[in-house]
Chain A
């Protein structure tokens, strides 16, 4: 009990209230994130309905194999994150650190594949809108629009992942210092919600960007 008192911020009456407030706050934050990405999803929908053929052409330019591998990697990182939260809830400090590290490693693998296998290839091939664009096709301008969406959405998603790395690094330090315990695992739970949300965004980005018009 002494421990739980130490974990209680002065504006709250008890740990339960604090926990509920934190989760509600986090969910509200995720709601704002939904709308933040939502502006992009809405624009995407408008242009996809208008330039269907160009979106298919652009989508076929993307690498489905790497995209699928990355999907599985990110799902795995969500899995390890869920296990990290579980370790924190049970007060198992060592497994918590291991699972957080695993999550970071999987996330880095995702970004590594994205950068070396996809972004870099786009750069070589001149399919980066605005910076290096030499794509030739009758539909080039609309394909460029598709690639804009591809880069905006995946880059915004990657930015969120990088923020996630920072959060997890802090959590690892906190765990190593013994500042996280079964009674005091709110930060890990909140980081978990955030990371799973990033995963969910990718779950939608993958079919919307890589699988337009099918691959048959």
Chain B
């Protein structure tokens, strides 16, 4: 083993991974870095559970009559896929893993403001996850991740209650995480770290936290009402009782549209870090990117009605929500243009994280632009609830948010694990994912325009060609996601030692050894320069 010679070197130093051992030291830890890893392990499991459901669905859709599944089973699979991916993978992905790991280090603190709450949030999250797993293994739930009433409250006899309560519980994990980040960013910044010297990742996480804190409780109380309505046959959403099912949609989307920005904003933050590091350039238009994050967070709360253009919402409200939805396009466009401009006259390298970042910009651009079709009233009427919508939000959430997440994981993996992964494999995986993704989801735009509704296990013959193309792409995409899992786990033991700053990156987190010591910094750092000051003298810690 070539790496064996390096083992002693890394083991002589005490860091957060080897400071103590045993299950107890992990399950009772209040170290934000260890909690980040607890989250990483949990959401990876949930991701592959949700992914397995997607694979079965795509397999089934090869045949118009359904290749292997009964409609009931298919319905359970897409519900499980949605619930797992949205509430148990995407929403905690970057905030709870990379955010937990990086926020204290980026602000130069020893930990988050409330370490015990942070650990509590993981337990709450896992409790929610257990409810979900129970719902799945006790027979499944077929309400869709949207829990629309009165279907969910009165007509389904699957495990809707367990699933809804699971989401309700996991919501509090999200609230605690967001609360912790806001307080940490406000109160615990190192000396010299002013708001406009902060890395843009922190701005993005801050904006995300606003949504988590102010949006999540609304969906929580809504799901409580669904549960009460199911248990006691009273409530506010059942038309048979004088209630209104459209009110449920208002309350649900008040959170669940901003939730999309919980997924994409942190990815945008990650991309700002990656583009600068691998172009060796300061970010183009720092304050525009920073403020556009906050603008997106605020506007995201004003647009939920575009999920309801055909629901029976009033024409007037449709016009209001359409106009406000278009407004979100502008801060998003500002970000994309600024990232692209950052590469201008840079020193661009093709390391794996950069490939993910470039993939993110391209796919997010497509996802964002196709959103215009759905903000526009007349076209949304035709495209609503078709595969066009599926394609659009997968371009945002998978093409965008997951690419950003993977880019971030690859970028900070040397910091997290202290090891390097095989670069060739990583670039290959990035390419496979990019290609597989487009093959899977681009045909779905066309399917949607042709009129294929979503959540259809059985469909008319004429949609088959596109469905087969999409399923073929999905098989490539699935493989693409497995490759990083293998080499990242491999690298934990066999990867070469990374050193404190393998990318020559700026930022406080790179000024401490990899893996960092439990208290992050030997002494509280002082910040004297702006973020991304790549023009200044190179880091002395640079490992060539």
Contacts and interface: CB of A to CB of B under 8 A. Distances in A.
Interface in A36-51: 36-40, 42-43, 46-47, 51
A17 B221 contact: no
23 contacts: A11-B110, A11-B113, A12-B113, A21-B183, A25-B113, A25-B114, A25-B179, A28-B183, A29-B179, A31-B214, A32-B179, A36-B221, A39-B217, A39-B220, A43-B247, A43-B251, A46-B244, A46-B247, A47-B244, A51-B242, A148-B236, A152-B225, A152-B228
Interface stretch (A65-73, A99-107, A139-147): A139-147
A21 B187 contact: yes
Given A32-B214, A42-B251, A144-B241, A129 B175 contact: no
Contacts of B179: 25, 28-29, 32
A40 B307 CA distance: 21
A58 to B, nearest CB: 12
Contacts of B231: 130
B218 A35 contact: yes
Given A24-B183, A38-B218, A149-B236, 6 more contacts: A25-B117, A38-B221, A39-B220, A47-B236, A144-B234, A145-B243
A148 B232 CA distance: 11
Contacts of B60: none
If over half of A's interface residues share one DSSP class (helix, strand or loop), that class is named, otherwise mixed; here it is helix
Contacts of A33: 217
Considering residues B104, B109, B231, B243, which has the most beta carbons from chain A within 10 angstroms of its beta carbon? Answer: B243
Interface string A1-40: 0000000011111000100110011001101110111111
Interface in B155-211: 175, 179-180, 182-183, 186-188
B502 interface: no
Considering residues B180, B187, B236, B519, which has the most beta carbons from chain A within 10 angstroms of its beta carbon? Answer: B187
Nearest to B235: A148
Contact of B218 (A11, A39, A129): A39
B70 interface: no
B111 interface: yes
A32 B216 contact: yes
Contacts of B243: 47, 145
Given A35-B218, A37-B221, A39-B217, A129 B242 contact: no
Interface residues of B, number: 43
A130 B109 contact: no
Contacts of A38: 217-218, 221
A36 B217 contact: yes
Contact of A145 (B221, B242, B519): B242
Contacts of B117: 25
Contacts, number: 103
A20 to B, nearest CB: 6
Contacts of B175: 32
Contacts of A152: 225, 228
Nearest to A44: B236
Given A10-B110, A148-B234, A28 B221 contact: no
B187 A20 contact: yes
A17 B187 contact: yes
A9 B118 CA distance: 15
B243 to A, nearest CB: 7
Contacts of A141: 241-242
A189 to B, nearest CB: 15
Nearest to B110: A11
B188 A11 contact: yes
B218 A24 contact: no
Interface in B2-26: none
A148 B235 CA distance: 6
B220 A28 contact: no
A142 B524 contact: no
Contacts of B213: 28, 31-32
A37 B251 CA distance: 12
A144 B110 CA distance: 54
Nearest to B115: A11
Contact of A28 (B182, B215, B232): B182
A25 B218 CA distance: 19
Contacts of A11: 104, 109-113, 115, 188
B93 interface: no
Contacts of A144: 234, 241-242
Interface in A122-145: 129-131, 141-142, 144-145
A151 to B, nearest CB: 9
B542 interface: no
A144 B236 CA distance: 10
Contacts of B251: 39, 42-43
A37 B222 CA distance: 10
Contacts of B493: none
Contacts of A43: 225, 236, 247, 251
Interface string A84-95: 000000000000
Nearest to B104: A11
Contacts of B187: 17, 20-21, 24
A28 B110 CA distance: 22
B421 to A, nearest CB: 31
A108 B374 CA distance: 53
A36 B225 contact: no
A168 to B, nearest CB: 20
B183 A40 contact: no
Nearest to B248: A43
B12 to A, nearest CB: 25
Nearest to B178: A28
